Amino acid sequence: MTETSNRGLPITIQGVTKTYGAVHALDAVDLSVESGEFLTLLGPSGSGKTTLLMTLAGFTRPDRGSLLFGEEEMIRMPPHKRDLGMVFQNYALFPHMTVSENVAYPLKIRRRPKEEIDQRVEKALETVQLGGYGERRIGQLSGGQKQRVALARAIVFEPRILLMDEPLSALDKKLRDRMQIELRHLHDKLGMTTVYVTHDQREALTMSDRIAVINHGRVMQLGTPKQIYDRPANRFVADFIGESAFLPAQRDGGRILCAGRELLLEASPPDAGDLLVILRPERLQLLAEEAGDDMNSFSAKVDDVVYQGDSFLLYASLEDGTTLALRDVVRRDTLGALPRTGDKVLLGLHARDTVVIPAEEGEAA
């Protein structure tokens, strides 16, 4: 790797609380970001993502709590002394300046010599693939190019922490998909600790080392994309990331009963009262006959079958009235044999794919 890799500062957030009147924008948030990690704050609008990022940046002073960059307490440190790179959704570029002047700005206010500024600006522009664009006016750039300028300005002074708040949400989907990969590569190359905010679950899954799922100012789950997707800790996370139906389950001694039968599980269930089983469309399968002993099965009646070319969606109702969906690929040999509305079918869910969560909204996990 480069000589600058692995230079990101770890971040430790402890008990950070911020209220606006009756609104708990942040509710005793504890969160650690490792050195050089790409961590995403993912949550719906109003969940507290921007408030947390602004607390890191120093523009919002929390009511309580501690914030460390490395070993140093930051809570009372003014924003300009925190040495952070920041990128916002709306670019926040200076429209009357050229590309180069925009990117040079953080170095100018740090009073770096002109020679060094020129050199670093050129290098930053090349890093974001805008080499040779220095003399352009901001108004002459496309949305994607403007966002690259904002990024160059954020990294030009080689900060050890980079904060980004929905930086791609103003771009069209194709460009957004490409920029997600580009940003991730840039992060890997520069090695700074990155905290990224989005409400887009796919973006979070694509880019992150770990995701903190936020709701009502609380961390609902912290984990790798795979942990968050495959093992959601509570109903909010299971609902917000991917699609799911939920089926009630009951504890019966050491066993768990669901739809009148014992539920087969590989992971141990949460230590809670009432439980829910998560049924994801892509984890369910159509069974031709009664399941083997590593598979849970559910009798259902088909409500609808939707052919989508490469795959099909089957909507069905279980005996208790729970409705769910199943998605699978269409193969030549199964095409003619797809069930029809009104058919009785048996749906399978492998024990290793069977996830049980508390029926009540969970606390941080």
State which residue, 20 or 81, has the beta carbon closest to ligand ADP. Answer: 20
Q: Does 46 bind ligand ADP (CB under 6 A)?
A: yes
Q: What residue 51 binds from ligand ADP, Mg ion, none (CB within 5 to 8 A, per partner kind)?
A: ligand ADP
Q: Does 23 bind ligand ADP (CB under 6 A)?
A: yes
Angstrom distance (rounded) from CA 315 to CA 305: 6
Q: What residue 181 binds from ligand ADP, Mg ion, none (CB within 5 to 8 A, per partner kind)?
A: none
CB of 169 to ligand ADP, least distance (A): 11
Q: Does 198 bind ligand ADP (CB under 6 A)?
A: no
| DSSP per-residue letters across 75-111 | TTS-GGGS-EEEEETT----TTSBHHHHHHHHHHHTT
Inter-axis angle of helices 99-109 and 143-155, nearest 10: 20
Q: Does 40 bind Mg ion (CB under 5 A)?
A: no
State which residue, 65 or 270, has the beta carbon closest to ligand ADP. Answer: 65
CB 302 within 8 A of CB 343: yes
Q: Does 49 bind ligand ADP (CB under 6 A)?
A: yes
CB of 239 to ligand ADP, least distance (A): 17
Q: In the set 47, 50, 234, 297, which binds Mg ion (CB under 5 A)?
A: 50
CB of 363 to ligand ADP, least distance (A): 19
Say which residue the tokens 């009664």 belong to: 290
| DSSP state, residue 137 | B
Residue nearest to Mg ion (CB): 50
Q: Does 45 bind ligand ADP (CB under 6 A)?
A: yes
| DSSP per-residue letters across 55-82 | HHHTSS--SEEEEEETTEE-TTS-GGGS
Q: Does 167 bind ligand ADP (CB under 6 A)?
A: no
State which residue, 52 or 357, has the beta carbon closest to ligand ADP. Answer: 52
Q: What residue 23 binds from ligand ADP, Mg ion, none (CB within 5 to 8 A, per partner kind)?
A: ligand ADP
| DSSP state, residue 270 | P
244 half-sphere exposure, CB direction, 13 A CA radius: 26
C-alpha pair distances (Å), 66 with each of 16, 28, 84, 167, 213: 6, 10, 18, 27, 20
CB 350 within 8 A of CB 283: yes
The number of residues in the chain equals 365
CB of 42 to ligand ADP, least distance (A): 10
Q: In the set 27, 29, 51, 148, which binds ligand ADP (CB under 6 A)?
A: 51
CB of 227 to Mg ion, least distance (A): 24
Q: Does 48 bind ligand ADP (CB under 6 A)?
A: yes
Which residues from 95-124 bind Mg ion, rule CB under 5 A?
none
Q: Does 31 bind ligand ADP (CB under 6 A)?
A: no
CB 362 within 8 A of CB 220: yes
* Sign of the alpha-carbon dihedral angle for 179, 184, 189, 190: positive
Angstrom distance (rounded) from CA 95 to CA 139: 7
Phi, psi dihedrals of residue 344, rounded to the nearest 5°: -90, 130
Q: In the set 40, 50, 285, 296, which binds ligand ADP (CB under 6 A)?
A: 50
C-alpha pair distances (Å), 246 with each of 149, 277, 318: 45, 6, 11
Q: What residue 43 binds from ligand ADP, Mg ion, none (CB within 5 to 8 A, per partner kind)?
A: ligand ADP
CB of 50 to ligand ADP, least distance (A): 3
CB of 48 to Mg ion, least distance (A): 9
Angstrom distance (rounded) from CA 15 to CA 67: 9
Q: What residue 48 binds from Mg ion, ligand ADP, none (CB within 5 to 8 A, per partner kind)?
A: ligand ADP
Q: In the set 20, 71, 254, 310, which binds ligand ADP (CB under 6 A)?
A: 20
Chain residues binding Mg ion by CB under 5 A are: 50
> Can you give the binding site for ligand ADP, defined by CB under 6 A?
20, 23, 25, 43, 45-51
